[in-house]
C-alpha cells in the first residue's frame, strides 16, 4: 500500500507547546535546506517531516531526541527548532564532526562565525587545512566546516579532493559552497539554542545509547550507508557492524527510528521487522527534467506499534515535494 503525506504551514511560536503537535500532518519547514551548516553526504533532512509526523501520531513528545550518528544533524536540529523535542543530544565517532557541533552549540559559536567571515577560501588554504593537526577544539571545528564545504561531495575522507580540482578547471569551484555570510549567520542562530542541546559527544554509538537510554528518549539512528560508505565517511560499518546493529536495535531503551539507504542488504536485514517501511523522497532535479525518486528505508518501533492498532502506515510511503513547494517559498541553501 502506498501512502502519501500532506504538508501544513509552519506553526507559530505560540502554537509550539509541551504537548505533541496536534495535527497529523507534516510540518513543511523542516525541509528547509539551510537547517545545518554542514553539507552531509547522505544527509537526511528530508526525513524530518516524516519523523515529525510519526511523533505526532504516537501522541507523546520526547524529552530528548538523540542522534548517535549525527553527521550534519539536520533531523535533530529541525525537530528541535520546530518544537518536537525539548532537547537534543548529538554524537559522532568522527572527532572533527563532534568538535564542530561542540563549538556550534556553545558560547563559542560567535567566535567560530567570525572565523568563517574572515576565512581565506582558496586551493592552497585547502591543502593547508587538509594537513592541519588541530591544536584546539575551535581549530578542529573550523577544519571540519572548511573541508566539508570545499571538498568534493562534502566528504572529510582523506581521498576527497578540493571542489573544482587542484587547477580549478572542472565543475563547481572551491568557494562555490562557502557563502561566508549565510554560514556565519546560521552558526550564530544555532549558538543561541545551545542550552537545549544536552550534550555533544565523540564516541562509539553504543556508548551514547548507554548514556541516554530512557523511556523519554527518541533515538534517530542513521548509520553509515551500505554502499560506498568507505569512500564517504572517515568511519564506516563493515558487514558485522550492520548485523550487530540489527540484532540489538530492538533492545534500545526508548523509542527509536532507524534509517538506511534503500539497499538490498538493508531490506534483507530489516524487511521482516514489523516496523519496516520504504520511503519515497521525491525531488525535481532541475526545471524541465523528470522527477526522480530517492528511496530510504525506515524501521521504527513506533511504526510497528501503530500498525498493530491502525492502518495509517503502509510499507511504502511517499513524501511528496510538490505540495511542500506550493506551501512556501523555499529558502535558498547556504
Ligand X SMILES: C[S@@+](CC[C@H](N)C(=O)[O-])C[C@H]1O[C@@H](n2cnc3c(N)ncnc32)[C@H](O)[C@@H]1O
Contact positions toward ligand X, by CB under 6 A?
40, 42-44, 68-69, 71-72, 74-75, 92-94, 97, 204-205, 222, 224, 233, 235-236
Q: Taking the complex as a whole, how short is the minimal distance between the CB of residue 104 and ligand X, in angstroms?
A: 14
| Residue 123 vs 302, nearer CB to ligand X | 302
Q: How far is the CB of 222 from ligand X (least distance, A)?
A: 3
CA dihedral for 221, 223, 227, 229, sign (positive or negative):
positive
Q: Which is nearer to ligand X, 94 or 108 (CB)?
A: 94
Contact 145, 38 (CB under 8 A): yes
- Contact criterion met (CB below 8 Å) for 115 and 138: yes
CB of 41 to ligand X, least distance (A): 7
Q: Which residue, 93 or 313, is less far from ligand X as judged by CB? A: 93
Tell me how far, at minimum, the Cβ of 107 lies from ligand X, in Å. 24
- Which C-beta is closer to ligand X: that of 105 or that of 205? 205
| 3-state SS record for the chain | CEEECCEECCCCHHHCCCCCCCCCCEEHHHHCCCCCCCCCCCCCHHHHHHHHHHHHHHCCCCCEEEECCCCCCHHHHHHHHCCCCCEEEEECCCHHHHHHHHHHCCCCHHHHHHHHHCCCCCHHHHHHHHHCCCCCHHHHHHHHHHHHHHEHHHCCCCCCCECCCCCCCCCCCCCCCCCHHHHHHHHHHHHCCHHHEEEEECCCHHHHHHHHCCCCEEEEECCCCCCCHHHHCCCCCCHHHHHHHHHHHHHCCCEEEEEEECCHHHHHHHCCCCCEEEEEEEEECCCCCCEEEEEEEEEEHHHHHHHHHCCCCCCEEEECCHHHHHHCCCCCCC
What's the CA gap between 152 and 161, in Å, rounded?
6
Q: How far apart are CA 175 and CA 34, in angstroms?
A: 17
Helix axes 137-150, 123-131, angle to 10 degrees: 130
For ligand X, give the closer residue by CB, 45 or 61: 45
CB of 252 to ligand X, least distance (A): 14
Cβ closest to ligand X, residue 201 vs residue 273: 201
Cβ at position 261, least distance to ligand X in Å: 8
Q: How far is the CB of 298 from ligand X (least distance, A)?
A: 12
Nearer to ligand X, 7 or 76 (CB): 76
Shortest distance, CB of residue 93 to ligand X, whole angstroms?
Answer: 4
Question: Measured from the CB atom, is 164 or 224 closer to ligand X?
Answer: 224
Of 43 and 49, nearer to ligand X (C-beta) is 43
The CB-of-202 to ligand X minimum distance in angstroms stands at 9
Amino acid at each position: 500500500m502506498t501512502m502519501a503525506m500532506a504538508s501544513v504551514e509552519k506553526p507559530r511560536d505560540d502554537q509550539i507547546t509541551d504537548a505533541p503537535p496536534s495535527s497529523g500532518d507534516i510540518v513543511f519547514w523542516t525541509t528547509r535546506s539551510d537547517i545545518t551548516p554542514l553539507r552531509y553526504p547522505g544527509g537526511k533532512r528530508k526525513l524530518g517531516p516524516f519523523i515529525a509526523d510519526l511523533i505526532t501520531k504516537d501522541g507523546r513528545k520526547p524529552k530528548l531526541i538523540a542522534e548517535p550518528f549525527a553527521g550534519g544533524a539536520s533531523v535533530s536540529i529541525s525537530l528541535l527548532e520546530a518544537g518536537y523535542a525539548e532537547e537534543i543530544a548529538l554524537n559522532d565517532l568522527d572527532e572533527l564532526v563532534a568538535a564542530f557541533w561542540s563549538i556550534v552549540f556553545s558560547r563559542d559559536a560567535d567566535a567560530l562565525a567570525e572565523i568563517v567571515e574572515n576565512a581565506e577560501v582558496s586551493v592552497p588554504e585547502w591543502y593547508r587545512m587538509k594537513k592541519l593537526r588541530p591544536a584546539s577544539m575551535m581549530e578542529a571545528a573550523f577544519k571540519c566546516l572548511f573541508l566539508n564545504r570545499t571538498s568534493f561531495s562534502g566528504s572529510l575522507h582523506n581521498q576527497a579532493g578540493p571542489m573544482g580540482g587542484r587547477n580549478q578547471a572542472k565543475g563547481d569551484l572551491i568557494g562555490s559552497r562557502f557563502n561566508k555570510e549565510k554560514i556565519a549567520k546560521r552558526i550564530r542562530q544555532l549558538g543561541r539554542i545551545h542550552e537545549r542541546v544536552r550534550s555533544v559527544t565523540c564516541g562509539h554509538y553504543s556508548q551514547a545509547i548507554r548514556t541516554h537510554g530512557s523511556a523519554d528518549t527518541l533515538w534517530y539512528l542513521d548509520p553509515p550507508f551500505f554502499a560506498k560508505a568507505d569512500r564517504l565517511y572517515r568511519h564506516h560499518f563493515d558487514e558485522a557492524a550492520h548485523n550487530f546493529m540489527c540484532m540489538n536495535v530492538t533492545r534500545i531503551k526508548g523509542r527509536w527510528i532507524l534509517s538506511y539507504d534503500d539497499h538490498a542488504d538493508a531490506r534483507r536485514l530489516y524487511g521482516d521487522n514489523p516496523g519496516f517501511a520504504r520511503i519515497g523522497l521525491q525531488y525535481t532535479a532541475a526545471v524541465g527534467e523528470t522527477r526522480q525518486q530517492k528511496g530510504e528505508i525506515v524501521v521504527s518501533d513506533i511504526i510497528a506499534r501503530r500498525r498493530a492498532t491502525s492502518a495509517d502506515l503502509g510499507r511504502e510511503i511517499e513524501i511528496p515535494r510538490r505540495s511542500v513547494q506550493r506551501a512556501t517559498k523555499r529558502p535558498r541553501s547556504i
